[in-house]
Amino acid sequence: MPETLSADLEVTSKPKLQIFLCAPRGFCAGVVRAIDAVEQALRIYGAPVYVRHEIVHNKYVVEGLKAKGAIFVEELDEIPDTKQPVIFSAHGVPKSVHADADTRKIFALDATCPLVTKVHREAEAHFRRGHQVILVGHAGHPEVVGTLGQLPKGSIILVQTPEDVENLTGVDESNLAYVTQTTLSIDDTRQMVDALTRRFPKIIGPYKEDICYATTNRQEAVKRIAPTVDAMIVVGSSNSSNSQRLREVAERSGCKLARLVLRADDVDWDSFKNVKSVGITAGASAPEVLVEEIMDAFAARFELDIEIVSTADESVFFPLPRELRPLNGASRRGRQSEEQTDTVEVEEELREH
């Protein structure tokens, strides 16, 4: 009898797995603001509330907002009822979209992340001072499309690789300035900035770097964990730039098995059969509920030993667009964030050039 019991325990026991949970992870202040903007608009104006493009790049979040009455469109001409508000996504939009909304008499609410707005204002300030503006970013990404659309067509040159920098021709090398997409890899951006400053020593950069604080913090946490674990999971959508960069950072940091997954069902469990340690993080547009879902799925298969690895504390808060703030809530909840103050400081700094 004891031998049978011992055999049963051996069969049912789960393998041990060390989990290193990155902190910070998941939602950033800009994403929280954008999602809150849609939910607050639904409370104030009722359904439907239209949203141009995915409010943030996460399918779980988008589906949740659809269930509450949000309707997602790619262009304003898809909106049949101009009496209902439309919200512009956290990634920002070209100025032509604002103008189109005015022409159509659409009530538009702008949920652009303030850190993206900071980049827009930097580009505009450089342009006013007669500088040729160079944008470091990924072609086709909504944030890049929005930044390019802040100035007249052809006023901003997009570069994606150091080779693009080397191949630049027809520019006034003494009159250049650059800005960057906010969700790039820190290391890739540093490489691009090095290429720009090496080729154009007089080029003017941002007063403070454009890579968002959340992007930086999440990548630094991955860099600390990835070299020490057998596998790394990044929770996020495949169309999320910052989530994709986290996976790339994990691979470059020495993790041989790095996967980007949205839900627990997306995990290839066969890949984890011989894994003894896993790092888990989440992109800035991924909600914590998805991290918990994946953790539960691991707990169903392994005996977990969980350790939180913290590399930064985050307390940034961005208030809602003014049209959506409670009349008595703005002074109570809101404070001007460091990043919004930076926007003013950026323009002051640019006046010196």
Query: Which residue, among 149, 152, 142, 153, has the nearest Cα to 182 in the 3D structure?
Result: 142
Contact 295, 7 (CB under 8 A): no
Q: Which residues pair with 282 in a beta bridge?
A: 235
Residue 11 pLDDT level (bands cut at 50, 70, 90): low
Which residue segments constitute the domains of the chain, with CATH numbers given?
13-28+213-310 (3.40.1010.20), 29-110 (3.40.50.11270), 114-210 (3.40.1010.20)
pTM, entire model: 0.88
Residue 242 annotated as lining a ligand binding site? yes
Between the alpha carbon of residue 300 and those of residues 13, 16, 201, 346, the distances in Å are 11, 11, 56, 50
Query: Annotated catalytic residue: which of 3, 54, 78, 143?
Result: 143
Residue 150 pLDDT level (bands cut at 50, 70, 90): very high
Residues 58-87 as b/e (b if ≥16 CB within 10 A, e otherwise) read bbbbbebbeeebbbbeeebeebeeeebbbb
Contact 178, 136 (CB under 8 A): yes
Q: Give me the DSSP letters along 11-38.
A: HHPPPEEEEEEEES-S--HHHHHHHHHH
How do residues 299-349 score in pLDDT, each as one tens digit? 999 999 999 999 999 999 999 999 999 864 443 333 344 444 444 443 444
How do residues 191-237 score in pLDDT, each as one tens digit? 999 999 999 999 999 978 889 999 999 999 999 999 999 999 999 99
Residue 241 annotated as lining a ligand binding site? yes
Q: Is the pLDDT of residue 144 over 70?
A: yes
Sole residue written with tokens 């990043």: 339
Residue 57 annotated as lining a ligand binding site? yes
Distance CA 222, CA 215 (A): 11
Contact 276, 18 (CB under 8 A): yes
* Cis ω before 48 (30° cut-off from 0): yes
How do residues 48-100 score in pLDDT, each as one tens digit? 999 999 999 999 999 999 999 999 999 999 999 889 999 999 999 999 999 99
Query: pLDDT value at position 251?
Result: 98
Joined together, the tokens standing for residue 255 give 């993790």
143 is catalytic: yes
Q: What is the percentage of the chain residues whose pLDDT exceeds 70?
A: 89
Residues 205-238 as b/e (b if ≥16 CB within 10 A, e otherwise) read bbbbebbbbbbbbbbebbbbbbeebbbbbbbbbe
The whole-number average pLDDT for the span 158-187 is 96
∠ CA 285-283-236, rounded to 5°: 80
Between the alpha carbon of residue 202 and those of residues 131, 134, 188, 297, 353, the distances in Å are 11, 13, 21, 53, 11
Residue 28 annotated as lining a ligand binding site? yes
- Burial class from Cβ neighbours inside 10 Å (0-12, 13-18, 19+) for residue 124 reads middle
Amino acid at 120: H
Residue 212 annotated as lining a ligand binding site? yes
Between the alpha carbon of residue 317 and those of residues 119, 204, 213, 239, 249, the distances in Å are 18, 29, 12, 25, 26
